Structure 1
């Protein structure tokens, strides 16, 4: 059962004002925390990012790709789809690059819930699903493709076509994403 970690680092970071993957916590780029949470649990790590991110960071034992040209800039679904198309596995652990409090324990707990009866293993935290910190079965490739073809890019719409296993989690901080400079100054600096 091959498992690939996908780190989504290709967003435009409009609200943040600069690439969030490069923002620092304790002197390390945000992207580092997602990679380190995945490293002990997955067989391979794929970072979906724009070329300017790759030129500024260096990580060993990771693959870098961009969105497939026809879906470039179409959001997280495009990034997930691009990684699945280029890297075959049974399960894919998806993380964004802007969650600098994520840790291995969360990923391990999700992976332990992997069940072939489901397409998606998604944390449920404080009353909300967390589809960008989740595990997806290879079967979702066709479901994502259908969404992209219909120009439907919302994660929750995609999830409505999946058999989802919700995993309740009490710890909130690992799921905190940093979207704005105000959040950065409040939680990081």
Structure 2
């Protein structure tokens, strides 16, 4: 299965107060950390909702579903079978998302932005976005996607979340020190 990785990064970051994709954790932008974690798990990676990358579809301001919609259409047009979507603010993605999610459709129960979605759902999401329901969880249910359990995945919504994660990072031994 050809899999397109989609980093959903078109949000307004209201709770964060500035563009959280650009926020730094240990000197590295959150979005760069996410791209680095996603790249070995997929055949290609695209940013959604920001330049360079795909604009949200049909327009910005509709939440993560508009980024997912852009990714699904891009995937279908370029021969990908499915999209693995992730948010730009989850700097420690599991390295085994495919094993957790299977072939899809499926999403992480606690973080429905992380999901695997067949590219064939592109037109269906176009229709869905004409309504008022922008919930990724409800979209998942409408497609028959399964909600999968996963270990907790850090998600940054506020500067305090970032600060707490940075402090937690400093208290953890480096991976080679854990052996």
TM-score scaled by length of structure 2: 0.83
Conserved in 2, the CA contact under 8 Å of 1:7 and 1:48? yes
Q: For structure 2, which runs of at least 5 residues remain unmatched after alignment? A: 168-179
Count of aligned positions: 164
Q: Which residue of 2 aligns with 1:18?
A: 18
Could you tell me which residue of structure 1 aligns to residue 5 of structure 2?
A: 5
- 1:1-189 correspondence to structure 2 within 5 Å: 1-51=1-51, 54=52, 64-68=53-57, 70-88=58-76, 89-105=80-96, 107-110=97-100, 113-114=102-103, 119-124=104-109, 128=110, 130-169=111-150, 171-172=151-152, 175-189=153-167
Report the 3-state secondary structure (helix = DSSP H, G, I; strand = E; otherwise coil) of the residue aligned with 1:38: helix
1:35-90 deviation per Cα after TM superposition (whole angstroms, max 9, x unaligned) = 11221121111101334xx4xxxxxxxxx11113x422111111110122233221
Higher strand proportion (structure 1 or 2):
1
Cα distance in 1 for residues equivalent to 2:121 and 2:165: 34
1:67–1:78 Cα contact (<8 Å) kept: yes
Unpaired stretches in structure 1, ≥5 consecutive residues:
55-63
Task: Write the distance in 2 (CA, Å) between the matches of 1:80 and 1:108.
Answer: 17
TM-score, scaled relative to structure 1: 0.79
Q: Output the aligned Cα RMSD.
A: 1.8
SS in 1 for 2:113: coil
2:161 counterpart SS class: helix
Q: 1:32 & 1:178 partners in 2: Cα distance?
A: 14
Give the 3-state SS of the residue equivalent to 1:4 in structure 2.
strand
Task: Tell me, yes or no, if the aligned pair for 1:99 and 1:177 is still in contact at 8 Å.
Answer: yes
> 1:74 & 1:167 partners in 2: Cα distance?
25
Quote the Cα distance in structure 2 between the aligned partners of 1:44 and 1:5: 6
8 Å contact 2:75–2:119 — kept in the other structure?
no
